Amino acid sequence: MVSKIFLNDNYDHYKDTLNILRNIDNKTRERIRNSSNLVIKPNFVSTYNQISATPLNTVKAILEYISKIRRKDIIIAEGPAFSDLKEGLKNYGYYQLKEQYNLEFIDLNKDDFEIFTVWNEKIIKKIKVRVAKTILESDFIISPVRPKTHDTVIVTLSIKNVVMGAVQKGYKVLMHQGFRGINVNIAYLAIFMWPSLTIIDGLVGMEGNGPINGSPISSNFILLSENPLVGDSITSLLMGFNPLNIGYLYYLWKLGFGEIDPDNVIFISEKNWKEYIREYKPHVTYKQQLNWKLDPETERKILLEIKEEINKLSP
C-alpha cells in the first residue's frame, strides 16, 4: 500500500496546522468521531523551554478541527521527563484551552500502568519498565511535535514522542541502554502504541544538542501523515538525515510498519518535497550515535522475537 504525505509551507502554527488537517479523509474523520479514547500526546520533554515543546497553537488547531467532528471529551496526555505535568500546562498556556474545549489532562507519570520487559545494553531482554495505560488503551493517538535532533537516537519525532512519554518517570532512564538498546526498545514499545496521526510542525525546529538544549532553526514546513513511520522518515530526510541511519525507524521498517523510501511515497504538496529540506546541525555525539547497529544474527533474532509479539496482537 502506497503511503501519502501531506506537506505544506508553514508560517503560522495555528493557521497552517488547521489548513493541513483539512486533507484528512472521510474514513479517518469517522475514526476520530467514533473513537472512545482519543489522545493528543504533545511533547513536554521540558516544561520550561518552549522551543523544546510542541507549540500550543499547533495543539489548539488540532482541537479546533476535532471539535467540529466529535462531541466526546479529548484527552491531552504527557509524562514529562523531569518535571510535573502541571508545570508544563501552566507555563505553556494549556489551561486556557480547557475553557474552549472538552478536555481532560492526564499525567502519564501518575497513570495506571502495565509492565513491559525491554532489552539491556547487552541486548538481553530483562529490564522492566512501567508504561501508562492511557496510551496503551487509546484507540486514536495524535502525535504533534517539533522536529528535533537528539542526544542518543539522532532525531526525536512522533513515534519516540509517544513511546518515551508513555514510559513513566523513573523508568524512562531504563530505556536508555546504550545506542543499541534504546533503538531496539523504542521500536519494540512502538508496536503497542502506534500513533494514528502524525503532525510535524517544522515552522521552527531544534538542531544541535537537542532534545532540550539545542538551537532553534526555521524550516517552515508542516507535515501530516496517517503512518508515523512514513511521516518520521520523511521528516528525517527534510532535516538532512537518512532514516536508514536512525535505528528505531530502521527496525520498524524491517518489521513492515511502513515505507521509508521517498520514491515509494505519494507527496501531496505545494511544491517539490526536496525544496523543504533544511539540513539540521546534528548533536555533538552524532557519530557515536551511529553505533546502534547489531550484528546480523542478533538483529535477526531480535526482529523475530518482536514479530512474535506482533502476531500475538493480531486478532
Query: Which is nearest to 284 in space by CA: 217, 216, 209?
Result: 209
pLDDT at 222 over 90: yes
Greater confidence (81 vs 290) lies with 290
**What's the chain's length in residues?**
315
pLDDT at 50 over 80: yes
Query: Which is nearest to 258 in space by CA: 287, 212, 279, 227?
Result: 227
CA angle 199, 314, 111 (to 5 degrees): 55
Place of cell 503497542: 192
The strand ranges marked E within 41-107 are 74-78, 103-107
Structure confidence at residue 149 (pLDDT): 98
234-282 tens-digit pLDDT: 999 999 999 999 999 999 999 999 999 999 999 999 899 999 999 999 9
Contact 253, 233 (CB under 8 A): yes
CA angle 155, 199, 246 (to 5 degrees): 20
The alpha-helical segments, DSSP class H, found in 194-261 are 228-238, 247-254
168-177 tens-digit pLDDT: 999 999 999 9
Structure confidence at residue 1 (pLDDT): 64
For each of the domains in the chain, give its residue range(s) and CATH number, in order of start.
3-313 (3.40.50.11440)
pLDDT at 314 over 80: no
Structure confidence at residue 179 (pLDDT): 98
Q: Is 276 helix (H, G, I), strand (E, B) or coil?
A: helix
